[in-house]
Chains A and B, each alone.
Chain A
Amino acid sequence: MKKENNLQVFRDIAREPYAYLRQLKQKTGKVMVGSTCTYTPEEILLAAGLHPFRIFAQSKEFSLADAHLQAYGCSMVRGMLEDGLSGDLDFLDAVVFPHACDSIQRLSDIWRLNVKSLHFDVLLPVKLDSELSKSYFVKVLGRFKKEVEEAFSVEISDANLRKSIALMNRLRTLLSTLYELRSQSPEIIGGSDLTAVVKAVMVMDKEEAEKQLQALVDVLKQKQPSGSAKKRILISGSVCSHPDIYHIIENKNAVVVWDDLCSGTRYFEGLIEQEEDLMAAIAHRFTERYVCPAKHLGVKFQMENLKKLILEHRVDAVLFMLLKFCEPFSFDFPDIKNELEKMGVRYIMVEMDQHNKIDEQMRTRIDTLLEIL
């Protein structure tokens, strides 16, 4: 019973993230800083006493965004802009754009010209595998820290940075423990609840999130593994925030045991190691965890990483959820699928018109995969 109550908190926030944020601002008076991507160095914002959160692209229609972006933009980019223009983000004080894909890159310009909020571009390198680019990464974070200090007239002390690094590390550890527990005994928590937890953590007050997460993990740890014989699925892609996907899968005697999504493990993968230079410490996590396909870490990173995950989590099949118009993710797919074929791992690719909508065709495609397993 305790688990249910505890889960409800996450479910509510995940369903209405902006309502939560609006309230949080009212309650705490904190500065609300939205970000477009998991490459946002949240530790720096937290250490400045600001509240970082992920902009989710809640909108399903893009009537305002359409005046700025052609229809061949992905629904994330169009949806985020719609959220920004429509007033849904009326509590937003500032926004952070870490450099990612071509579409986000232009969204940053469009946002800067049309949405009233303080604007930070974090000009990250795309190449992450050279010493030179790593040292550039550190300098970019240093600049970001300075810009935040100036914009909000605060000083970000090392002591505060250490605190926020420790807090984020604890959060990440809790989230990966949660994922690991579920990978071991999938029945202890539903897939849609699991994604709701991650999504909620991305917007919640981080200390509150830690408390709630700890309580949830404690309860789940007490559950006995049942050793169920369900088929084990991994979801691969950029964002997939639709809870129904998990229900469809679970109704077919299968279960999602892992993902490599930006709205999933990519958010919490990897910890920040202790280092003298705190900007370097933060940067190194970004250059060493499993990177976004819009970044470069050798030419085979994406396939090798996926193979590793498949073995680690005894995955029976991979479900690729690719968002229409998304270049970075879709370019990797053909070579990855060839690798999976060599490994004898089954897969299916579903192209989503929108990250937050499911249609009949997608349902049928997913059913087909589960039936051939």
Chain B
Amino acid sequence: MKFRIDRDALADAVAWTARSLPTRPTVPVLAGLMVESTDGGIALSGFDYETSARSTVDADVADEGRALVSGRLLADICKSLPGRPVDVSVDGTKVSVVCGSSRFSLQTMPVEDYPQLPAMPTASGTVSSDDFATAVAQAVAAAGRDDVLQLLTGVRIELEGSRISLLATDRFRASLRELTWFPESPDASATAVVPAKTLSDIAKSFTAGGELTMAVATGDQGPGLIGFEGSTASGTRRTTTRMLEGEFPKVRQLFAANALTVAYVDRQELIDAVRRVSLVAERNTPVRLTFSDGQVLLESGSGDDAQAQETLEARVDGDDIVVGFNPTFLLEGLQVMTEPAVHLSFTQASRPATLAGVQELGGEPNTSFRYLIMPMRLPG
């Protein structure tokens, strides 16, 4: 193996591919990054049996071949190389990396021990990578973080015709994000539950613009696989990850309730006020919100200890309502919205409340992202 390659293209591709390598691999070769040179370019791949990553980059290839080297080390080296073309070659059991007057020699690992990467499933359709990244960042806000309830650490992706729905819940709150895409076939229909953290990392790593191809393969045996593929100026990137198995809670049906009270509040003002008021809230105690004519009163703390109050201007249509929320749940939802105001709809103080972004007080809410919070029971 021997090739010459652009320094930035190499550094970007190595960083992207090495990103998902395990820090504490179960077997040593999984800490490795496979470097393969073929006619016209190179391919880099990494795999931890859950997630695979593979990128291709244009290069001047003198000799075809492949080698397995420490991914972290190669990433650190490439990041710090000077801005000159890089020459990479295999010499016995070493890989040499030469850039300007810098020279590195890396130990190789046995190529034959390296597992076969899963094949990319057949493409299901394409979506704008920026839209997808925004949507995923919103949807994951409600995902569970406790690994014991593994299924709830996932985001359910529903592909139905030209609509993608992303759903997540940790049992206390839920999110539903919808966006449009371009399916390969107009009657496309598939679902997948993907670990929220993995999905979020993947979505963020494809934000260089352009189209993202998504591919879902339901497993006949064992868990299914979902793949993503995008292109960069000098090559392609693709990643696959295993789906989570199990019956995901029926999140969508909860968003249907008819509101008895609707309130509009400036989003940033509400975030700031919740932050301030919750300073005196003990862990796992609620912030109490009282919605009445033209205002919302926020209170927290108990009579015995510290207390805090703040009033914000609000537009309130319908019955007055008093409701308690875990301040963290409320903040995490408000923070991923993008509109200047928030639309809150309630039925009862013991039923879920739905939040959505809105351009102005009294306007039509943007229902492409909705965030549901189950209240806390208020004492007394």
Do they bind each other?
no
| Chain B residues proximal to chain A, CB less than 8 Å | none
